[in-house]
Chains A and B, each alone.
Chain A
Amino acid sequence: MRRRRPSESVNIIVCVKQIPDPETPAASFKVDEAAKKVIPAQGIAPVVNPFDPQATEAALRLRDAAGEGKVTVISLGPDSARDAIKHALAMGADEGVLLNDPSFEGIDNFQTAVALAKAIQKIGAFDLILMGRSAADWDMGVVPAGVGQLLGVPVVTVAKAIERNGGAVKVDRVLDDGFQTVETPLPAVVSVSNEFGEPRYPQLRQIMLAAKKTVQVWGAADIGMAADELGASGRWLPLDALYVPKVESNVEIIEGETPEEKARNLAQKLRAAKLI
């Protein structure tokens, strides 16, 4: 076997979040307005934030291309967030860290970024931190920027392809009006978008193997977070209200015996309404 230079080895951290299924039909989506919380939909299990397996996939490909290295998965969340970590481990990640503490209840994305940055400092050396472009619960997309700022490393967002180039990565990004290719020195934070493509799906054997991989559990004290930084009272962006907007339907279904007749009736309605 060819000996690889240690510099080729790559140390990657992937952050994954467990969230309510974003495909929950609107009719099953309910909010407890007093508690300012989403009521878990009956029979719909929480999932890994859809962009995060894509970040994991990116990490695994970079590790495997280097031939050597480690992928560590971190999730901050309740006990059930262990499933999000297990999913990444079953995909092929090496180790997991669950950040779990009662005082994490009700925290916002900013406190989350602080906690993740502290946990990453505790883990120590890393070349690359991969995340999803945003979490499909609060739809904010701020944690990647936050972890980058807090750790003092560059941040590249909305990646559709990532390629390692020695001590740097070349990233293809999706912009509002096209694409951009950038290069950032490592260490860096990169957030991944759906354009990256489908992540691998763990096979049964890998799921069984993942059960043997270690998942450490760290509380607030383990990462050195003070009580006043935590809980809903420590939010940087207090949540004052959460509700489901009312939508009413006033649709007029266009009648007709045949598709052609419906099309004619629609064209006439649109003309009458001066829309065409």
Chain B
Amino acid sequence: MPGILIVAETSAGAVAPISFELLGAARQLSAQGAGSVSAVVAGGEAEAKALIAHGAEAVYTADAALAGQPADASLAAVEAALQASGADIVLVGTTSFGRDLGPALAFRQKTGIAMDCTELKIEGGRLRATRGCYGGNARAEHTWKAPLQIATVKPKSFDAPEPDAGRSGAITASGAAGESKVKVLGVAKAESTGIRLEDAQVVVSGGRGLGDESGFRALEELASVLPQAAVGASRAACDLGWYPPAAQVGLTGKVVSPNLYIAIAISGASQHMAGMAGSKNIVAINKDPDANMVKAAKFAIVDDYKKVVPALIEEIKKLG
């Protein structure tokens, strides 16, 4: 029987949010006739139960130690789950892991993969995927030539289903062992002070127009007077070494969709928009009235951020 297999990921020992978004996407496809929803995860019963609560009907668990390994070590476990489930659709997150696993799986299975999809639907019994391309300037819709259809899903594109501990599903431990010729020698997690960029309700982002690294101190201060706020950056600012790459928002950085995105001295190149266009409300602070970010915003101040930001911090403090 056809169906959908999602490749779940864990982070810090728990199922990562992207996996629930994948289940959200899979449930929509299932409702359109794509069959049942299974998941494969490098983890144990706790992870499997969380996936079932979020809508998986069957879960294949694999060695939890695969989680920190290069993605190709997980190929055998994913292929075993693919075979056991009989799925003809595989959904993977567009993450560091998924960007590696997805294409490797596709080439091994001799089928195509649509990367970073934002919309998925079933048409005539087959998957049809929509994705941004040309830096976000265009959108493409794809189908697959081979029977197996693989896609990576852009974070924040689908809502995670509400968990329901009453749901039941089969849990099968998979013995598939995998290894990689690539050895991990070390990892350096980005320092995160406070809330994760992806989870923040407010994101204050800075770009090249800040002029130097010290501009980010003002942005951090602005973030500190706003609840649930984190600081992001454009690639130009990261490439200049003003802010760490883990804070980069955009096509090749993080995808955020906060309630409020405050873009300060960022022009709004399509590749940056690709990471934040889903924000509920955008505010632009930019010297240039014709900047793309100004046009995309709900509210904009056209002025020098150096004067605006300190005043804004004071005004917000006054409002309390």
* Residues of A near any B CB (own CB < 8 A): 20, 22-24, 26, 29, 31, 38, 108, 110, 113, 133-134, 136-142, 144-146, 148-150, 154-158, 170, 174-185, 193-195, 235-245, 247, 249-254, 258-260, 262-264, 266-271, 273, 275-276
**CB-CB contacts below 8 Å: B145-204 with A:** 145-146, 180-190, 192, 202
Q: What is the bound-complex CA distance between A144 and B115, given in angstroms?
A: 14
User: How many Å from the CB of A261 to the closest CB on chain B?
Assistant: 8
A154 closest partner in B (C-beta): B181
- Judging by beta carbons under 8 Å apart, are B135 and A139 in contact? yes
Of all chain A residues, the one with the shortest Cβ separation from B155 is A176
Q: Verify B185–A275 contact, CB threshold 8 A.
A: no
On whether the beta carbons of A185 and B299 are closer than 8 Å, the reply is no
Task: Confirm or deny: B103 has a beta carbon within 8 angstroms of a beta carbon on chain A.
Answer: yes
* Docked pose: A183 CA to B186 CA in angstroms: 10
Min CB distance B64 to A, Å, is 18
Task: For B137, give its contact among A29, A193, A253, A258 (CB under 8 Å).
Answer: A29
B interface, over-half SS: mixed
Contact A267 B235 (CB under 8 A): no
Mark B72-94 against chain A: 1 for CB-CB distance below 8 A, else 0: 10000000000000000000000
Question: B224: CB under 8 A from chain A?
Answer: no
Q: Which residue of A lies closest to B304 (CB)?
A: A259
- List the B side residues contacting A253 at CB < 8 Å: 289, 294, 300-302
Contact B311 A184 (CB under 8 A): no
List 8 tightest A-B contacts by C-beta distance, closest first: A237-B112, A263-B311, A145-B103, A259-B307, A236-B112, A267-B315, A149-B107, A142-B103
Selecting from B21-29, B31-39, B251-259, the interface stretch reads: B251-259
B112 and A262 form a contact (CB under 8 A)? no
* Known contacts A142-B113, A181-B184, A236-B145: A155-B295 contact under CB 8 Å: no
**Given contacts A178-B188, A181-B184, A183-B182, A267 and B319 within 8 Å (CB-CB):** yes
Of B44-52, B126-134, B208-216, the segment with at least 4 beta carbons within 8 Å of chain A is: B126-134
- The minimal Cβ–Cβ distance linking B302 to chain A, given in whole angstroms, is 6
B106 within 8 A of A: yes
* A238 and B134 contacting across the interface, CB-CB below 8 Å: no
Query: Is A262 touching B138 in the complex (CB atoms < 8 A)?
Result: no
Task: Give CA–CA (A175, B183) in the complex, Å.
Answer: 16
B30 CB within 8 Å of chain A:
no
CB closest residue in chain A, given B12:
A177
Chain B count of residues within 8 A CB distance of the other chain: 88
Contact status B319-A146, CB under 8 Å: no
B96 touches A175 (CB 8 A): yes
Q: Which of B96, B140, B141 contacts A176 (CB 8 A)?
A: B96
A179 and B296 contact, Cβ closer than 8 Å, known pairs A149-B104, A240-B128, A276-B226: no
Give B135 Cβ to nearest chain A Cβ, in Å.
5
Partner of B251, one of A139, A170, A251, A262: A139
Please give me the residue from chain B that is nearest to A108 by CB atom.
Answer: B112
When the two chains form their complex, are residues A179 and B187 in contact, meaning their CB atoms are under 8 A apart?
yes
Quick check: A139 and B296 within 8 Å, CB to CB?
Answer: no
5 of the cross-chain contacts (CB-CB < 8 Å) are A29-B138, A138-B133, A236-B111, A266-B299, A276-B316
Q: Does B297 contact A (CB under 8 A)?
A: yes
- Measured between alpha carbons, how far is A170 from B185 in the docked complex, in Å? 9
Q: A245, A268, A275: which has the most chain B beta carbons within 10 Å?
A: A275
B281–A243 touching, CB < 8 Å: no
Residues in A with CB closer than 8 Å to B181 are 154, 184-185
Check: B61 CB closer than 8 A to any chain A CB.
Answer: no
Q: Taking A145-B107, A149-B104 as contacts, is the C-beta distance between A243 and B138 under 8 angstroms?
A: yes
Asked if B112 and A251 make an inter-chain contact with CB atoms under 8 angstroms apart, the answer reads no
With both chains docked as a complex, state the minimum distance between the C-beta of B310 and any C-beta of chain A, in angstroms: 8
Contacts of A194 in B (CB 8 A): 235, 239, 252
Distance A240 CA – B143 CA, assembled complex (angstroms): 7
Would you call B14 an interface residue if the criterion is a C-beta within 8 Å of the partner chain's C-beta atoms?
no
In contact, A237 and B144 (Cβ under 8 angstroms): yes
CB <8 Å contact, A154 and B132? no
* Known A26-B137, A184-B182; contact A157-B100, beta-carbon cutoff 8 A: yes
Q: What is the bound-complex CA distance between A20 and B134, given in angstroms?
A: 9
Q: Which residues from B are CB-within-8-Å of A275?
A: 259-260, 281
Beyond A177-B189, A251-B295, whether A154 also contacts B182 by CB under 8 A is: yes
